[in-house]
Structure 1
Amino acid sequence: MILKRFFIVFILTFTLLRLNAQSKFIECEQDLNIQFEALKIASDDSVKLSISQKIMGDLKAVLRKKGSFNYPFNLINNLGKVTSPDEQVRIFSWNYTLVNGEYRYFALCLKKDGRKNRLFELQQNLKVEESMVTKLSSDQWLGALYYQIVPFKYNKKSMYLLLGWDGNKDRTSKKVIETLGFSKTGDPEFGFPVINWRGKRLSRVIFEYSKQAQMQLKYHERANCIVFDHLSPSEPRYINQFEYYGPDFSYDALELNNGIWNLVEEYDMKNLN
């Protein structure tokens, strides 16, 4: 009987502590959600930047709390949240649009390190040339909203492919396949040459297409491949004028083999069944 009472008290205490911890997260979520709503209706570029900087500081404080990695943060609207299937990496991202139609991006990367978590700010660097063959640090980030993380091994090292969207400018959008790894000191690094693309080794792939079009880019776990629309200009005379590019009803894919993602052109979608 005494043991049973002790067990009940223990369960109640544990439950109360857990609810108290969650209530702290809920309060933070509500505050952040108010800020995101303010960001959505702001019309001045400088005000949007100021709000985003405040969000960055407050979100950092929340993510440093114990239990943040597994907390869903579902109450916050307009905040991208994606977790790797191996539950080692979590990325939070958001953006806003400038008056001239360009986009600005903000992100935080939460990485498990043993029993602790490490938090990194990804800083969009507009001075960095957008290249498919360069290696970049967290303060040279190109910027995107990530919606899928694909873990894989390269030379026995854990790495990730990030699938993302970039609103780019007023006439074109972009989809991105980015490579992410971590240095010996644990810092995030982008741009590892693990994509075999038409005889070249790429560090990332950037697709640009018409604002009026929609492009599919998705990882299919069952087939262990990334499938995406093949983009073509609406007419041959518009080659390399990406505001005229869109899906042509064919598909390409990246298939993983020994740590390298290999391009497969004219991919048969029946392979996904």
Structure 2
Amino acid sequence: MADGIWDNGGAPTGGPRLFPDALPDGVGARRRPSAGELALPDWFAPLLTRLHRSRAEDFTRLPTPDEGGRDSAVLVLLGEEPDGGGPDILVLQRAATLRNHAGQPAFPGGVADPGDADPAATALREADEEVGLDPSSVTLLAELPTLWIPASDFLVTPVLAWWHRPHPVAPRDPGEVAHVARLPVAELTDPANRLRLRHPSGWIGPAFEVRGMLVWGFTAGVLSTLLDMAGWTRPWPQDRIADLPPTTPPPAATADADEQP
């Protein structure tokens, strides 16, 4: 994460907003579960420490416009594998029949509704609608800087959270979500599963091949930065570059772009 994963121009002001008590020396949450349920594992501490000290430039160099854009949010939900197997991250795969981002893995999330109080409310509502996630099973930790995607004019706020009480999840509407998976961090950081993708437009960015899913674009960029921040990244062959098929839509302002048309 040399000078930020969002390598596309000037940087906005501001940085991540950690919810009250979600700090390295006193980890907690804005919305606490019942007594005894909240116990953040030790592996969270380095990530929250880096987030607490970070600036917006660590996440994006593309300035967020003062006006316009469609507010949206995604939920970056970290859980822990059974029997202490280490952290994992919840992702979904969009249905192949969708008009936009067909078949592409993504974090749960979507466009804000007028009744949503904040990006966290949007992310939790969308995760419930998409995969049946129980909001009470989630501890909110931080809102990352809002990231602008020019091609769609979305203003996306990633919301970092701890899945303190995991439960089964599945696509609620197969016409929108084809598959849901918890991807182990150990597999995301396996050098054999990492590569960079070249789009016909000239864009090059990070990607992961994990459990039959090719994660790239916006989602891979956010993952790549958080893995770096947490100290989980392992050396991997960055000269491993593959081409995306020409029919794949351009990723616009996605992360770790070596080239941006």
Q: Specify if TM > 0.5.
A: no
- More helix as a share of residues: 1
Which has the bigger relative contact order, CA under 8 A and spacing at least 6?
Answer: 2
- More strand as a share of residues: 1
* Structure 1 length-normalised TM: 0.29
Highest CA radius of gyration, 1 or 2?
1
